[in-house]
A = this chain, B = another copy of it.
Amino acid sequence: MKTLPMINNISKPKFNLASREHQGEDTIINVKGVKIGGDHMTIIAGPCAIENEYQMITTAKAVKAAGATMLRGGAYKPRTSPYSFQGLEEEGLKLLKQAGDITNLPTVSEVISTETFDIVEAYVDILQIGTRNMQNFPLLKRAGQSKKPILLKRGMAATIEELLMAAEYIMSEGNHQVILCERGIRTFETYTRNTLDLSAVLAVRKLSHLPIIVDPSHATGQHDMIEPLSKASIITGAHGLMIEVHYQPEIALCDGPQSLKTDDFHHLMRELFFLHDHHLQLKRQIRD
């Protein structure tokens, strides 16, 4: 009787620092008083791309009022086409910082190269490494030398194991403040932009002590799927969410169809607080 070996697994990678075996307790990261991981729920919201002062400040105030705990905004945009809007770069970072100062929210923005790492690091509180760079190893190593937390998104065709190996790259350079992010994987399905893999949240919580959040905006590409999948993520055990919000999605320069309006975000936040409280109560009952 014959069983096939899995040839593509001959040389399986291994992770150590990121594993539960290495550290049993959940990692909790503190950014200007906002805690990520463990029993804390982190909601990162803001526009896909920073477009101008009015857009950034208006959206920032709205998400703050709704209860978001961090502010996002893209200044360096990785775009499939060289002819698409590539972001405001340093000008955008300044606007994000300004919006963060006004609202007293820590900020998150994507860094897409080692060359621009210093400048992004200077302006923001958490540096995001995007899905296309999950295996950009020089960038991971540079992130490992930073003193600031890194938000590492799963590659669109990366296994859970490869995601944890990418975290290991950052940690092996000395930076243990890594937040993972499930953002949908590429499958044969064409109705949604990607396929959200919520079981990855459970797998990461079992295998690793690192916090993991979910990005429902990129996972689906559809604004009307964000609310239900955000709630599903929190109930599943995600440590938080990253959600694209725009004060007027119809005029967004980037990803308008998957952006939430500020009113809808406000409504969603109330739900998330309720579900997260319920989730924690239940967890405590089980512990006792």
Q: Chain A residues in contact with chain B, CB under 8 A?
A: 1-4, 6-10, 12-16, 19, 21, 78-84, 112-116, 132-133, 135-139, 141, 155-157, 159-162, 165, 168-169, 172-173, 185-200, 202-203, 206-207, 219-222, 224-225, 228-229, 231-233, 235-237, 257, 271, 274-275, 278, 282
Contact = CB atoms under 8 A, between A and B. Distances in A.
Contacts of A78: 135, 137
Given A199-B219, A275-B235, A190 B7 contact: yes
A259 to B, nearest CB: 13
Contacts of A7: 190-193, 221-222, 257
B138 A113 contact: yes
A189 to B, nearest CB: 6
Given A4-B191, A81-B165, 16 more contacts: A2-B15, A7-B192, A14-B81, A14-B83, A15-B81, A113-B139, A116-B138, A133-B136, A156-B157, A157-B157, A159-B190, A195-B197, A196-B198, A199-B222, A232-B235, A274-B278
Nearest to A18: B2
A188 B159 contact: yes
A188 B188 contact: yes
Contact of A157 (B1, B168, B188, B192): B188
Tell me how many chains of this kind the complex includes.
Answer: 4
A198 B235 CA distance: 13
B112 A137 contact: yes
A202 B257 CA distance: 16
A263 B83 CA distance: 44
29 contacts: A1-B14, A1-B15, A6-B190, A7-B193, A7-B222, A7-B257, A8-B192, A8-B221, A10-B221, A13-B80, A80-B162, A82-B169, A112-B138, A113-B138, A116-B138, A132-B135, A132-B137, A157-B186, A159-B189, A185-B195, A187-B197, A191-B203, A196-B198, A199-B222, A199-B229, A202-B229, A232-B232, A232-B235, A235-B275
A207 B222 CA distance: 14
A172 B1 CA distance: 13
A70 to B, nearest CB: 23
B193 A81 contact: no
Contacts of A235: 228, 231-232, 235, 275
Contact of A236 (B1, B8, B231): B231
Contact of A81 (B13, B21, B202, B203): B13
The 6 closest A-B pairs by CB, nearest first: A157-B157, A232-B232, A113-B138, A1-B14, A132-B135, A13-B81
Contact of A198 (B116, B137, B200, B229): B229
